[in-house]
Amino acid sequence: MKKTVKFAFILLSLIGVYCMFWGCSNNKADKQDQLETLQGAYTARLGVAPLAPPSISQYKTPQKVIVNLLVTEKQMQLANGVQYTFWTFNGTVPGPMIRVHQGDEVEVHLSNSPNSTMPHNIDFHAATGPGGGAEASATAPGHTSVFGFRALKPGLFIYHCAMAPVGMHIANGMYGLILVEPKEGLPKVDKEFYMVQGEVYTDGKFGDTGLQHFNLQKALDEKPDYVVFNGSVGALMGDNAFHAKVGETVRIFFGNAGPSLTSSFHVIGEIFDRVYLEGGQMINRDVQTTLVPVGGAVITEFTCKVPGYYSIVDHSIFRAFNKGAIGQLEITGAENKDIYSGKIKDEPYIETQSK
């Protein structure tokens, strides 16, 4: 008994010493946060959903990356025959995907169209500073604000408008993703896609045609009639589906703008090889469904093995089939019956007698 106590004591002290060292090395890491000097500047190539922007291949040192965003308020299709006045970054929902590297300085030029009714701003979850830039970027119609932030941490981050009333600006379409790649970059894959989930609160029910207005009460109740990927019902269906070939690796940059509902992100018929949990540095493997909080994102990767149509859904399944949170991936190529046989037989079922 005494021996056990002694052993436990030694073990505990060892853990203590280890923790001290770990703490030390962690402090060192923090000190290494000292910013590297920027070498050069370039204007970011932005990705228009569902395409992610390419990574810059010759990345060596942190640079200044200029990001130009123009806010416009415009009517767009929410579903077949349904119009809605979206508030947008660069005229699309979601806004463009931005791709920088850890250590880069992001210089944002946020313009608000003279035709806008509202002031707008932008809050980058990738930024460290008050409001993620919201205060610095508040912009009246017909003006441009410039502010900058250092991309200190790698990961996939949401950005969104944070002008009061925030929920309305988000529900109206003002959001997108910024990827801060680690210095060494993300591993190469064959295909990269960009999608963001968002809710739209309309006066009419799902499918009621015509111009729909924002419904404040449904928003306060957190009961949207539309939960959509990339701004409209069907934005990733049919002709707009993602495409990949058997044997290719696919990476999906997925964000959840909300403003209210947590997403259970799932690709029906696939298992994610890797999931960068919450868009951060922890990788989980062999995942069926990953939870994406509002104002959060995730990177998922998988390998295409069997051809066919795969549905991409929020597995809160009524949202997928009744509110629009569904997209498609079409995989083409040779069948692989060893992995998936397809239907082999269909025959009458005969009840065995149990009398």
Query: Taking CB under 5 A as the rule, which mask of x and - marks residues 154-193 in contact with Cu ion?
Result: -------x-x-----x----x-------------------
In terms of CB distance, is 47 or 132 closer to another protein?
A: 132
Euclidean distance between the first and the last CA atom of the chain, given in angstroms as a whole number: 63
Site string for another protein, 173-212 (x = CB under 8 A): --------------------------------------x-
Cβ-based nearer residue to another protein, 147 or 302: 147
Considering only residues 212-231, where is the footprint of another protein by CB under 8 A? 213-214, 216-217, 220
b/e code 54-91 from CB counts within 10 Å (16+ = b): eebeebeebbbbbbebbbbbeeeebbeebebbbbbbbe
State in angstroms the smallest separation of the CB of 110 from another protein.
12
| Residue 216 interacts with which of Cu ion, another protein, none, CB < 5 to 8 Å by class | another protein
Please give the angle made by the CA atoms of 12, 15 and 17, to the nearest 5 degrees.
110
- Nearer to another protein by C-beta: 131 or 307? 131
75 sits near another protein (criterion: CB under 8 A): yes
**How far is residue 204's CA from residue 200's CA, in Å, rounded to a whole number?**
11
Distance CA 278, CA 125 (A): 12
Instruction: Look at residue 202 and give the partner it binds from another protein, Cu ion, none, a contact being a CB closer than 5 to 8 Å depending on partner kind.
Output: none
| Sole binder of Cu ion in the list 120, 150, 160, 323 (CB under 5 A) | 120
Indicate the residue type of 199: E
DSSP-derived secondary structure for 74-125: EEEEEETTEEEEEEEETTBSS--BEEEETTPEEEEEEEE-TT-SS-B--EET
Total number of residues that touch Cu ion (CB under 5 A): 5
Picked from Cu ion, another protein, none, the partner binding residue 174 (CB below 5 to 8 A depending on kind) is Cu ion
CA distance 295 to 176: 10
Cα–Cα distance measured from residue 227 to residue 257, given in angstroms and rounded to the nearest whole number: 11
Assess 333 for contact with another protein (CB under 8 A). Answer: no
Minimum distance from CB of 252 to another protein (Å)?
Answer: 27
Q: How many residues are present in the chain?
A: 355
Residue 322 found at the interface with another protein (CB under 8 A): no
Q: How far is CA 121 from CA 33, 71, 160, 242, 334, in A?
A: 28, 9, 8, 31, 48
Q: How far is the CB of 299 from Cu ion (least distance, A)?
A: 26
Binding-site residues from annotation? 120, 125, 160-161, 169, 174, 315
Q: Give the interface with another protein as residue ranges (CB under 8 A).
A: 73-75, 84-85, 114-119, 121, 123, 131-132, 134-135, 138-143, 162-166, 168, 211, 213-214, 216-217, 220
Q: Give the interface with Cu ion as residue ranges (CB under 5 A).
A: 120, 161, 163, 169, 174
